[in-house]
Amino acid sequence: MADLTRVRDAKSDKGMATSANPLASQAGIDIMKKGGNAIDAAAAVSLALGVVAPAFSGMGGGGLMLVHIAKTGENHVIDYRETAPGLATASMYRTRSDGEVEGDENFYGVKAPGVPGNPAGLALALKKFGRLSLADVARPAVSLARNGFPVSHLMGAIFQENQDNYQRKFKAFPEGGKNLLKPDGTPYKKGETIVWKDYANTIDRVSKNGTAEFYEGFVADSLDKFMTANGGPMRKTDLLNYKPFMRKPLVGTFRDLQIVTLCPPSSGGIALIQLLKLFESLDLKKTGHNTSETIERMSKALGPVYKARDLVADPDFETVDSAKLTSAAFIKGLQGQAYGVEGARRDGSHTTHVSVMDAEGNIVSLTESLECFFGSGVVVPGTGMFLNDTMHDFDSVPGHLNSVAPGKRPKSSMTPTIFFKNGKPVLVVGSAAGPRIITAVLQVALNVFEHGMEVQDAINAPRFHFQGGKNIRMENRIPQDIQNELKRRGYGIELHPDYDLEFGGVQAILVKDGIMHGGADPRRDGGAVGL
């Protein structure tokens, strides 16, 4: 799916934005030109991405944001993940013997969405750390939706190759098709222009009148009416009660680097700290990049770490001891631990990541999602807004740490991260791809710090993924002799195409000698733009 001709690394000492679409990255740079800082620019990129890459994110979803303020040296997490509606229960889904949900009700339709957090999260970030208003940073997104935007390479492929998106979602929920299909009901192709007036009006109205328009006004009223009429569990009171949270990031070390990363309800930061600490004792530089020895050593650590993710859930509902899980004793105990089968594959990879840095050194690393392609498929009439299907991030079986409860946030794999050396930022990174976010961020960081790659090369390099079981998933650019040797050692190999979005969407900024080097993932139509 990748279009390598569109991805270029970028350099600047004034500001950098990198995301899953160059039009969205440019929106962030335009906001910097108007006096905005990295937080303002990141909000602009987020809103623009919801327009030009609508399969992955938007106002109907949520996310997790890591913010670094250069002047004070402080780091903050803003948690604006979706929450389970008030009428949700641990037994709300009918499950099969394999634990999966009958009728995919946690993937499709009115039982799949969590309460959206995107508008509230961006507004909180701007209030705490930004310089401009929500209306200011929303202008590029409104313009793109109202005046039209070209269908990107990846979006065109999603429309054309993944029939499920519009057969099961757009046709099952006609409001979505009304907004993003042609008048004859067929999908748009690469390069064709989509005008999305309903969504443009929603962004414009919410940004100008404040998030009360979303959580108390016309969006909440429209959603309540639709859900009540169609048997969904979400109500206006759920939006009225929604709150984004400020949280404290996790801090770890890898050699002479400090890692600042995500805290629960994400499992990604804990897993990244665990893995990098385990790899300190391995000379991966000596064993080489993507050799059979390196892949096997990494896989033996990945299995137990992915199993340990079962200990992570929403810290406001469950006891999650992050200090213990990232302690030297706990991490040492993971070495050689059995990890068993991979378990149910929740392969939602349809997330997006944004990395932004300004001339003062302020940084945002944020990951957002609608979860699966176009979320639940549900569009609230009159809003143009796709609702997420984040409820499938919960365990569908009662009695588990990550089981459904009203107001609860589901466990995530999001891993926005900043690496520091001697107190100065050196790498801003994060990814899309559900559970593969962790391995994508891990491999790009190792490519930079262990294998000495430049940031774009580190992102382009072929990836693999392992989280238990027998099979190692990998892109087919990993040489055949490496695959054969891993098979000889007892692994199964699950091959995927080159630059497959299965393996993430890493957007990163590497800082060298005061210069920001932006890298963007060709797996996601990525575009890095410098000021």
* Spatial distance between the Cα atoms of 9 and 12, rounded to a whole number of angstroms: 10
* Spatial distance between the Cα atoms of 356 and 45, rounded to a whole number of angstroms: 9
Residue 115 tokens read as 């309460």
Q: What is the CA radius of gyration of the chain?
A: 21
Q: Kindly report the number of other CB atoms within 10 A of residue 453's CB atom.
A: 19
User: To which residue do tokens 């002799």 refer?
Assistant: 481
Q: Is 228 one of the annotated active-site residues of the chain?
A: no
* Spatial distance between the Cα atoms of 247 and 164, rounded to a whole number of angstroms: 37
Give the list of residues 6+ apart from residue 434 with CB closer than 8 angstroms, or none. Answer: 346, 347, 348, 349, 351, 413
Query: Strands 250-254 and 245-247: what pairing?
Result: unpaired
From the candidates 294, 351, 352, 390, give the one annotated as an active-site residue.
351
Residue 175 tokens read as 């409001």
Nearest residue to 253 (alpha-carbon basis) of 420, 89, 427: 420
What are the φ/ψ torsions at residue 57 (nearest 5 degrees)? -155, 175
**Three-state SS at 120:** helix
CB 518 within 8 A of CB 530: yes
- State the amino acid at position 482 in one-letter form: I
C-alpha pair distances (Å), 294 with each of 72, 288, 451 = 39, 6, 12
CB 123 within 8 A of CB 40: no
* Half-sphere exposure for 73 (CA within 13 Å, toward CB): 5
C-alpha pair distances (Å), 252 with each of 104, 164, 285, 484, 500 = 38, 41, 21, 36, 30
C-alpha pair distances (Å), 52 with each of 3, 6, 21, 82, 199 = 16, 15, 7, 22, 12
- Residues with a catalytic annotation lie at 351
